[in-house]
Amino acid sequence: MVWKTPVDLELGQRVRWNLGARVIWAERRTGEWRIGLRETGREDVQYGSLDIGPASDEDGPPRLRCSLGDASERLVLMPRTPDRPLVARTEVSLLVPPGGSTRVHVGIPLCAQIVANDRPLHELPVLELSDTWFGTPLEGILCYATRTHLTMDEALLGPRAHRALCSAEIVNHAPEPLVLDRLRIPAPNLGLWRMEDGQLRTDRLRLVRESGQEDGSVEVLDHGVGKAERISEPRFPVSSGRVVRAFNAVWKNLGGLS
């Protein structure tokens, strides 16, 4: 198990967390930690792995050094959701009829936070994501673009070490059809869960478009599937069950109106 597994290191030892696309490493030195990464180009690793051993030239030079005075011997790698919303697209426009609903799924690329004795040392994305703009030129928000499309078939998004599965229910109470081309996922507001099989999931979303409203509402719910361990809190939590209306741009870019 890679995420949230305590690792105890002696001086001179190095831990490597293999997350598929990247191998992240940390080496314990006197009074400091040295942290680096190595790109692999692989995104098909299901659950990842870790190993402990001496330093290796294969790992490359350190990315940074973290001085703690008396460097702790224990590290934990924590998964975090991205620090910006994500924009996920559909392969083909998806129409939700009046009074209808659907459920879509998308992979959420993770960030890795290295923690020493409950003190965060460093955080970096497991995948480098592209910037994208969501909204009009005058009113919008800078987001990341997802690497996977929205899909209604959850089975197409198998476990991957570098991502979590996000599910969203979309409900259309308006009298006109809702045409979905892309969706903004409020990733910083989502917590993470580890399922019994090791797969990570985010909190669920419920997005509702009401009759006579230009925008919609977004509700953040728990994972809703089987037994799970809460493994990471959201960056910006919202009250349980609270309906958040701050995401009105979700609906303003439907039907290719971006």
Q: Which of 52-56, 78-82, 134-138 has the lowest mean pLDDT?
A: 134-138
What's the pLDDT score for residue 41? 81
Mean pLDDT, the chain, rounded, equals 85
Asked if 140 and 242 sit in the same domain, the reply is yes
> What pLDDT band is residue 239 in, cutting at 50, 70 and 90?
low
Only one residue has tokens 């998806």, namely: 94
> Does 118 reside within a domain?
no
* Range 162-186 average pLDDT: 90
- Write the DSSP symbol of residue 4: T
Contact (CB, 8 A) for 177 and 225: no
How confident is residue 214, by pLDDT bands cut at 50, 70 and 90?
Answer: low
What mean pLDDT is predicted for residues 60-71? 82
The H or E element containing residue 202 is: strand 200-202
- Integer Cα distance of 165 and 35 in angstroms: 28
When pLDDT is averaged across residues 99-115 and rounded to a whole number, the result is: 95
Provide the pLDDT for residue 213: 64
Q: Average of pLDDT values for 109-131?
A: 92
Which residues on neighbouring strands pair with residue 36, listed in sequence order? 25
Q: Which residue is it, tokens 């992979």?
A: 107
Per the domain annotation, does 166 fall within a domain?
yes
In a domain, 29, yes or no: yes
**Which of 14, 125, 38 minimizes the C-alpha distance to 79?**
125
Residue 2 lies inside a defined structural domain of this protein: no
186 shares a domain with 150: yes
Could you tell me if 31 and 101 lie in one domain?
A: no
Mean pLDDT of 200-204: 94
Burial of residue 257 (number of CB atoms within 10 Å: 0-12, 13-18, 19+): exposed
pLDDT exceeds 60 at position 257: no
Same domain for 86 and 44, yes or no, is no
pLDDT for residue 240: 52
Residue 130 backbone dihedrals phi, psi, to 5 degrees: -85, 145
- Which of 80, 127, 157, 132 is CA-nearest to residue 258? 132
What span, in angstroms and rounded, lies between the C-alpha atoms of 197 and 172? 33
Same domain for 141 and 71: no
Contacts 24+ apart (CB under 8 A), 127-131: 127/21, 127/22, 127/43, 127/162, 127/163, 129/82, 129/86
CA distance 163 to 46: 9
Q: 67 and 87 share a domain? A: no
pLDDT exceeds 90 at position 224: no
Question: Strand, coil or helix: what is 143?
Answer: strand
pLDDT greater than 90 at residue 187:
yes
Residue 115 in any domain: the answer is: no
Contacts of 41-47 spanning 24+ positions with Cβ under 8 A: 43/127, 43/147, 43/160, 43/162, 44/20, 44/160, 45/18, 45/19, 45/20, 45/21, 45/160, 45/161, 45/162, 46/158, 46/159, 46/160, 46/161, 47/1, 47/2, 47/159, 47/161, 47/198
96 and 151 belong to one structural domain: yes
Query: Is residue 191 domain-shared with residue 102, that is, in the same domain?
Result: yes
Residue 188 and residue 67 in one domain:
no
Two structure tokens written together for 97: 């009829």
Answer yes or no: is 179 within a domain: yes
Q: What is the pLDDT of residues 6-45, one digit of tens each?
A: 999 999 999 999 999 899 999 998 888 999 999 988 888 8
- The total number of structural domains in the chain stands at 2
Residue 64 lies in a domain: yes
- Is residue 29 located within the same domain as residue 157? no
Tell whether 119 is covered by a domain. no
Binning pLDDT at 50, 70 and 90, where does residue 198 land?
confident
Based on the fold, state whether residues 176 and 73 are members of the same structural domain: no
Q: What is the DSSP string of 80-91?
A: E--SS-EEEEEE
Compute the distance between CA of residue 135 and CA of residue 187 in angstroms, rounded to an integer.
17
Range of the domain at 50: 7-79
> In the predicted model, is pLDDT for residue 5 greater than 50?
yes
- pLDDT, mean of residues 49-75: 86
| The pLDDT of residue 104 is above 50 | yes
- Whether residue 215 is found in the same domain as residue 155: yes
Where a domain ends, among 59, 79, 99? 79
Q: Are strands 178-185 and 192-195 parallel, antiparallel or unpaired?
A: unpaired
